[in-house]
Amino acid sequence: MRITIVGTGYVGLVTGACLAELGHQVTCVDLIKERVEQINRGEAPFYEPELPRLLNTVTRQGTLQASTSLPEAMRECELSMITVGTPANADGIDLTAVADAAGQIGTWLHLAAPYHVVTVKSTVTPGTTATLVRSRVEAASRQSLGKFGLCMNPEFLREGAAVTDFRNPDRIVIGQSDQRAGNLAAEMYRGFTCPVIMTTLENAEMIKYTSNTLLATLISFSNEIASLCEAIPGCDVDAVMDAIHLDKRLSPIVNGERIKPDILSYLRTSSGYGGSCLPKDVLALRMFAKHISVSTPLLDAVTEVNTNRPRVVVERIIRTLGSLRNRKIAMLGLAFKPGTDDLRFSPAIEIINHLRQHGAIIHAYDPVALPAAAGIQNEQVILSDSPESAVTDADAAVIGTAWPEFAELDWHTFSNLMKTPYLFDARNAFRDKNWPASLRYIPIGVCIEE
Ligand code: UDX
């Protein structure tokens, strides 16, 4: 199938490369010439494990190419896919780029195959595809829906595991304006054995929001329980959650063996959720609900708990160290989670902001996100090129991202380099490790002994 992808951001490029791997003829369109050239050289413009190798393969075999020319890409094309950004704004979600992409596809629709399906993959609020996208395509093409088809096909790709997630989907969701459109979009995924859900455009849009807001809700629920445990001497959120996880409705026993679904890891405490999806999607759904006069007290609280979590972590540090004014804090990890260099809505960055407000001097290190973090530097935030230089003379170190390599550092030596050997684990990631006696490891979700 000839496919045009509009927008070579994270979702667009991963989707394009994976569809090209399946044998489709894919053209990724972007306005930025340098980015297009980079993709055509087989290079990934952002950090995502597995993508460079895949891009190299599909550009060399010629199933994927990038272009700045939408008309060229639209020639004989059967399906176009909108994968532009839908950032948060005061209104909840900024759909300008989606509307523009739909208009441009409409403009060149006459060049496409006789029957063409416009597919939205960007995360958009319910009703967007059937109203905004449809009207823009119709106005620009002077054709009515039916002459072309509309689909909404949300992505469920985790950063850091996006290629694997595309290759092994839990389900494929296709919202369709009509059956002909849906069938053509489903053709893209021929060969996948997972359930394929053919549904309305609005359901498809809502499934994406429900999926991400559920994850955010689980995280905030766990963090609210953690806040309670932190205030109750004798309570430990991990012990509580370990017992909860053993409920057979959460971890069923199959053939005598307990299955521990991945979802259980969202029922753990942390400094909160971040990234390009969860914070933005919870906000967009809340604002959308407001527009249609539906109250969302649960989702409002999910955001509130998450916003407070980095502050709670810093308050714990203050309870142990006292005033942070001019104290050196080593921040280990900046990315919103391991496996990515994405700093968007990263709880680690929020922790840094709170530490700064209390007058601390932060020396930050991340194994992959340092180039992306250049912009956060100032007189109080210094980027360190090694964990060792970050912790030297520090009053405390904080694990801001659960990079596994942080547990493997030589903490015995590090504790001797530090002014006071406190290690705060803001992700509660390394509680099982045998820490050297010279270091005081302080997890979250437990009451700090005075
Ligand atoms: C998410 C969804 O998982 C994905 O299906 C969707 O399409 C895009 O949004 P991503 O933003 O990459 O993907 O992050 P995810 O791995 O789900 O992590 C989201 C947040 O949950 C992060 O802040 C992370 O630290 C936290 N998280 C993640 C956990 O608390 N536990 C985990 O096991 C994984």
Which residues, in sequence order, are CB contacts of 129 under 8 Å at separation 6+? 120, 150, 151, 152, 175, 201, 204, 205
Instruction: Give the residue numbers marked as catalytic.
Output: 277
CB of residue 444 inside a 6 A radius of ligand 1 = no
Say whether pTM exceeds 0.85. yes
CB of residue 118 inside a 6 A radius of ligand 1 = no
| Per-residue pLDDT at 42 exceeds 80 | yes
pLDDT in the model for residue 448: 84
**Mean pLDDT within 216-227:** 98
pLDDT in the model for residue 450: 57
CA of 337 to the centre of ligand 1 (A): 8
- Residues 295, 264: Cα–Cα separation, whole Å: 28
pLDDT in the model for residue 414: 98
| Per-residue pLDDT at 14 exceeds 80 | yes
Give the model confidence (pLDDT) of 354-391 as tens digits.
Answer: 999 999 999 999 999 999 999 999 999 999 999 999 99
**Mean pLDDT within 89-107:** 96
Report the share of the chain in percent with pLDDT over 90.
98
**Mean pLDDT within 246-275:** 97
CB of residue 270 inside a 6 A radius of ligand 1 = yes
Q: Given the CA of residue 337, which atom of ligand 1 is nearest to it? A: 25
Residue nearest to atom 22 of ligand 1 (CA): 273
Give the model confidence (pLDDT) of 141-159 as tens digits.
Answer: 999 999 999 999 999 999 9
Residue nearest to atom 3 of ligand 1 (CA): 158
CA of 158 to the centre of ligand 1 (A): 6
CA of 44 to the centre of ligand 1 (A): 21
